[in-house]
Structure 1
Amino acid sequence: MSSPIILITGANTGLGLETVNSLFRSSRKYTVLLGGRNLDKATAAAKQVKKEYTQSESVVIPVQIDIEDDASIEKLKERVEKEFGRLDVLVNNAGGQFDQQLYKGALGMREMWNKSWDVNVTGTYILTHSLIPLLLKSSDPRILFITSGTSTLTETTNLAVPVNKSPDQKGWPKDVATFNGLGIPAYRSVKTGLNMMMREWLRVLKEDGVKCWAVSPGMLATGLGTGDPEFLRKLGALEPSVGADFVRSVVEGDRDGDVGLAVRKAGVQPW
């Protein structure tokens, strides 16, 4: 069999792009489908990867994929089937944090909540559903769902985590500034939903030998949500490459003993 075919959605920036870079740093050879909503941006990102890792035997191919667009999903499926005949690893990285758009007045409340679910859960489910036939043609099919450390219900009592702290003042409305820009109820909720979705795929594909995980890469200094990596660094965020190397470790089998769980670098993340 040729080198593993890996599709990473939302891969022209942030954690997705760093995951592509991490795979290119591996001693193993991969064919990486670098997915982006905008093909020009995906192409530019792929060129940069090739330029930076000239010694790597891996191959990167830019592909257009918008998980909010069913036609885009179907077109990608047809391309992968025609060019490769299978898919070995699906990294469901594409997602978004839209809570701040509500605070800024860019989105209404219902619009923000609906978009959060549509992008992070519904779109991810439909893409995965569409690609299952190609994954089942792999000898070692793997599906990674990128979750968040803020999604754990068990750890919401940990007040050392800023998003778990309650506002100081009584009354309504609450001051958004109280949350230090980290009031993210929609994002947390949809990532918790994503964890259950992973469990559903594990259940449905049990007899097919498909390995599934929810992968929690940690708080990373990317443009997710706030659009301000430096702000996140001040809060203790790690460099995106750290999270990307962890994602790669799951791809390469380091967490095969934790199939069906939410995993993070330090172990298993509680539900």
Structure 2
Amino acid sequence: MTVSQKIALVTGATRGIGLETVRQLAQAGVHTLLAGRNRERAGEAASRLQAEGLPVDAIALDVTDGKSIAAAVAEVRERYGRLDILVNNAGILVDEFGRAPSEQTLDTWRTTFDTNLFALIAVTQAFLPLLKAAPAGRIVNVSSILGSIALHKDPASPIYDFKVPAYNVSKSAVNAWTVQLAYELRDTPLKVNTIHPGYVKTDMNSGEGAIEIPEGAKTSVEMALIGADGPNGSFSHLGQELPW
């Protein structure tokens, strides 16, 4: 690793969009930390990318565990002294399909928000000092078009009938959090944005998406690498602004 090489960390990166985001960032020359709850699994995934000649290392990080977050921050601080890019990719969908919004259990709501919102905030807060130590830190929050309130209330929109409420509302909250943090960071070189990866064929939807995983990682990578003239507090997919 060179002194000038950017350092990135991607959460939930042992498979799917997260793993591909690590690959594409590393292909762009970024020294990328592949974060997963299980260090062994993260190490195996990182080894496969290292075998491709890519600058990737594994790091253990359970985004729902405060001690795990603190340990990851300490490891990054000791090894690199800063973090240039944080991609908050980890997320879950546990809504019971076929149940109406009012029928989803409170446990479903709490479990969803613990990972999709509260863990994202906890990870961001913990790494923020290291991001501020970088010349121009970047935070990418992986949201979803399903978090768009405007589209959910529009009968003509493609997501109007797709109500998985705990997941959808957690992503709406991620978008709202992004706007709040972007305001805080508005006069700094640090930028935070939220993205929709697309309807991607992943394990989360049993492979029923419309696009392949490499396409799904593109927006995260593009927003992670934006320059000083890039957006702050935006919600987008492949350069297109999406309605809140």
Scaled by the length of structure 1, the TM-score of the pair is 0.82
> Structure 1 residues 121, 255: CA separation in 2 closer, same or farther (over 3 Å shift)?
farther
SS of structure 2 residue aligned to 1:206: coil
TM alignment of 1:30-179, pairs within 5 A: 30-51=30-51, 53-54=52-53, 58-100=54-96, 109-156=105-152, 157-159=154-156, 161=158, 163-165=159-161
- Runs (4 or more) in structure 1 with deviation over 6 Å come to none
Contact kept, 8 Å, 1:102 with 1:109, in 2: the verdict is no
**Superposition deviation, residue 266 in structure 1:** 5.1
**Superposition deviation, residue 160 in structure 1:** 5.1
Q: CA RMSD in A?
A: 1.9
Contact kept, 8 Å, 2:60 with 2:72, in 1: the verdict is yes
Give, in whole Å, the separation in 1 of the partners of 2:62 and 2:143.
19
Letter in 2 for 1:17: L
Aligned length: 237
Contact kept, 8 Å, 1:68 with 1:118, in 2: the verdict is yes
Give, in whole Å, the separation in 2 of the partners of 1:221 and 1:256.
32
Give, in whole Å, the separation in 1 of the partners of 2:189 and 2:70.
24
Letter in 2 for 1:241: P
What residue is the counterpart of 2:234 in the other structure?
A: 261
**Superposition deviation, residue 93 in structure 1:** 0.4
Contact kept, 8 Å, 1:10 with 1:93, in 2: the verdict is yes
What residue is the counterpart of 1:169 in the other structure?
A: none
Give, in whole Å, the separation in 1 of the partners of 2:229 and 2:45.
30
> Structure 1 residues 257, 133: CA separation in 2 closer, same or farther (over 3 Å shift)?
closer
Per-residue displacement from partner, 1:213-257 (whole Å, max 9, x unpaired)?
001111100012x4x11xx14xxx210100212221112227954
**Superposition deviation, residue 24 in structure 1:** 3.1
What residue is the counterpart of 2:193 in the other structure?
A: 213
Per-residue displacement from partner, 1:121-163 (whole Å, max 9, x unpaired)?
00110110011111111001010000101111111215452x4
Give, in whole Å, the separation in 2 of the partners of 1:257 and 1:24.
21
* Larger Rg computed on CA atoms: 1
Give, in whole Å, the separation in 1 of the partners of 2:56 and 2:192.
23
**Superposition deviation, residue 2 in structure 1:** 2.4
Give, in whole Å, the separation in 2 of the partners of 1:245 and 1:193.
23
> Structure 1 residues 19, 85: CA separation in 2 closer, same or farther (over 3 Å shift)?
same
What residue is the counterpart of 1:20 in the other structure?
A: 22
Give, in whole Å, the separation in 1 of the partners of 2:239 and 2:233.
17
Letter in 1 for 2:81: G
Q: Percent identity among equivalent residues? A: 28
Letter in 1 for 2:37: R
SS of structure 2 residue aligned to 1:208: coil
Would you say 1:241 and 2:243 are equivalent positions? no
Scaled by the length of structure 2, the TM-score of the pair is 0.91
Give, in whole Å, the separation in 2 of the partners of 1:96 and 1:127.
16
Contact kept, 8 Å, 2:151 with 2:157, in 1: the verdict is no
Letter in 1 for 2:243: P
User: Unmatched 5+ residue regions in structure 2?
Assistant: none
Letter in 1 for 2:114: D
> Structure 1 residues 89, 112: CA separation in 2 closer, same or farther (over 3 Å shift)?
same
